[in-house]
Structure 1
Amino acid sequence: MDSSGYSPEIEQQLAAAARICDRRETRLTSLRRQVLALVLDTERPATAYDLLDRLREHHKGAAPPTIYRALDFLLEQGLIHKVERLSAYVGCIQHGHGHKHLAEGDSVHHAAQFLICRQCGAVLELEDAVIGSAIGDAARRVGFRPLASTIEIEGLCARCAA
């Protein structure tokens, strides 16, 4: 851990997020950065109120609108995802360098895909371009212009299924 209390990996992800925001001419304020760090520093998807409780350790007066505004910004920038089924948030860059859109480009996910374990609550994000393309192609065939989609599949993770 460094002086901020976060691992070097999370610090690298925060630095990448700051560069993304700079390129987009948006501001990753210290509060937004701290909320992103809290999301990235959580092993399981975190609810807004979980994050608020943790944020209050450093910002005593933080209220629900504070956390929701920060989460909305992070969602808009593609730095986190909301897992609708759990009403919780996961970091989009927490899985390493596989997220090319965050490491190299400025576009956000258009077809986020999540596998949710019903037993332990683990969430695995997939990045299967074939699935995303199939959804986009099917939508366009009926005249629909997709802007974003989220696919959530419930089941058992490999560890729980064993």
Structure 2
Amino acid sequence: MSKNISPPAAPCPHHGHQACIEQALATAVELCNRGGLRLTPIRKRVLELVWQSHQPLGAYDILAQLSAEDGRPAAPPTVYRALDFLLDNGLIHRLASLNAFIGCDRPHQAHQGHFLICRLCKVARELPHDAIDEAVEQTAAELGFLVEQQVVEVSGVCAPCRGHA
């Protein structure tokens, strides 16, 4: 990894996420329009919920929030279909270690998912470093291994949490 590449700025835990949500929704609308895909109201709402913070959100959390909003239980298959659509179209990522979802910072660009996840505040940040992809691909090729998908999840403690400790 190049030493002159600075890491993404960690979000302030108290910043308003509305700008993040609005940008993610605008990007989703643009990508769906360009691809001839339907961003249904439920898909849009699920994307909005995923982007409500920089903390990964589980499917059951999404179900609970939708149920609370509507006053009646949300149907799990509907939420899972919405999540599948958002995943398939690169609008969100799934963090396997947390069994949760996080918004994609770069849905316009084909890339693999690499994340720093704070074990204290649960904030997850996507790393925009193609060098990680290249290192994995090169090592895999040397071993005769065909990489189909890579998700790197690094757990630790973010700077703001370290400052509070």
State the TM bucket, normalised to the shorter chain.
0.7 to 0.9
Among 74, 83, 100, the residue aligned to 1:71? 83
Question: Counterpart of 1:32 in structure 2: which amino acid?
Answer: R
Q: State yes or no: 1:45 paired with 2:48.
A: no
Match of 1:84 in 2: 96
In the alignment of these two chains, the number of paired residues is 146
Structure 1 residue runs of 5 or longer lacking an equivalent are 1-5, 94-98
- Any runs of at least 4 consecutive aligned residues in structure 1 with deviations exceeding 4 A, and if so which? none
Aligned partners of 2:117 and 2:156 also within 8 Å: yes
- Name the SS of the counterpart of 1:54 in structure 2: helix
- Name the SS of the counterpart of 2:38 in structure 1: coil
- Name the SS of the counterpart of 2:81 in structure 1: helix
Report the CA distance between 1:143 and its aligned residue. 3.3
CA distance in 2, matches of 1:20, 1:71: 16
Name the TM-score, length of structure 2 as normaliser.
Answer: 0.79
Match of 1:3 in 2: none
Going from structure 1 to structure 2, the CA distance change for 1:157 and 1:7 (only over 3 Å counts) comes to closer
Question: Counterpart of 2:97 in structure 1: which amino acid?
Answer: R
- Across the aligned residues of Structure 1 and Structure 2, the Cα RMSD in angstroms comes to 2.0
Match of 1:19 in 2: 30
CA distance in 1, matches of 2:63, 2:73: 10
CA distance in 1, matches of 2:46, 2:71: 11
Structure 2 residue runs of 5 or longer lacking an equivalent are 1-16
Higher-RCO chain (CA-CA 8 Å, sequence separation at least 6)? 2
Q: Which moved more, 1:66-75 or 1:56-65?
A: 56-65
Report the CA distance between 1:49 and its aligned residue. 0.7
Report the CA distance between 1:9 and its aligned residue. 4.5
Report the CA distance between 1:30 and its aligned residue. 1.3
